[in-house]
Homo-oligomer: A and B are copies of this chain.
Amino acid sequence: MNCRLITLLTDFGARDAFVGIMKGVILGINPEVTLVDLSHKVPPQDVVAGALLLRSAVAFFPPGTIHVAVVDPGVGSARRALLIETPRAFFIGPDNGLLSLAVLAEEVVRITHLTETKHFLTPCSDTFHGRDVFAPVAAHLSLGVAPEQFGPTVTTMERLRLPSVEGEGIRLVGRVIYIDHFGNLITNVTAADLRPFSRENLLVSIDGVQIRGVATSYASVAVGAPVALIDSWGMLEIVVRNGSAAQRFGIQLEHPVHLIPT
């Protein structure tokens, strides 16, 4: 299995050198590794946003990729540090749900509680585990250290629960769970949720705006018009073509979206 690819996802931002420092630690241990940034602009301490972004990405990386994620408001507390092995990838980060949307329950091969300090930096701070714990563990793992060398195998991990799609009579009610860079509104409604319905005849209603049908591309409507589609995440997304749906409609996270068969 190719373990030379490490991805990084954090809420560290791009202004300070925190991310670069993690890379220095990793490359100091394994100079042969290839590093890919998933995002460092997760809103500070927003574990849900980080978990959604990580989930959106993992299917597109080759087998054996090591994903390091650090959105870690509990750093220095008793929250555990984990290494999770699945058939496809490794996940390293705090046990606060951040990894849980990317890791399907049925696919967990092993969860390791990271306690073996010989694989950490010395001294190990209580403020920057990205540098002192997660980066060096990822680098040692990429060198072939076996997961069980990093600490005891455990059986549980924190799991996030996204709001579920609810039924109200014949309609479904979803929620906006993420707003992307373009202001597109990503909901918790999946392609599977829409299977019982005729996509062409579904009315998508958000904040008084009604969109008829679920399209397959942004380009199916005129510039400036709203469109609902199944997006690259496999989720129902509401878009203003070449504009920002979030700004146009003044929509924030958690806003309900109604799906009405007609």
Contact = CB atoms under 8 A, between A and B. Distances in A.
Contacts of A246: none
Contact of A60 (B44, B131, B244): B131
Interface string A159-190: 00000000000000000000011100000000
A23 interface: yes
B181 A60 contact: no
A216 B127 CA distance: 7
Interface stretch (A74-82, A109-117, A149-157, A253-261): A74-82
Contact of A65 (B13, B24, B241): B24
This chain: copies in complex: 3
Interface in A212-233: 216-220, 223, 229, 231-232
Contact of A125 (B24, B73, B75, B232): B232
Interface of A: 2, 4-5, 7, 9, 12-21, 23-25, 27-28, 31, 34-42, 44-45, 53-54, 56-57, 60-62, 65, 73-77, 125-128, 131, 180-182, 216-220, 223, 229, 231-232, 241-242, 244
> Sorted from nearest, which 4 A-B pairs have the closest CB atoms?
A76-B217, A13-B181, A126-B217, A77-B219
Given A20-B57, A28-B62, 16 more contacts: A5-B31, A7-B24, A13-B41, A15-B41, A15-B181, A17-B39, A17-B54, A20-B39, A44-B182, A73-B223, A73-B242, A76-B219, A77-B217, A126-B219, A127-B229, A128-B231
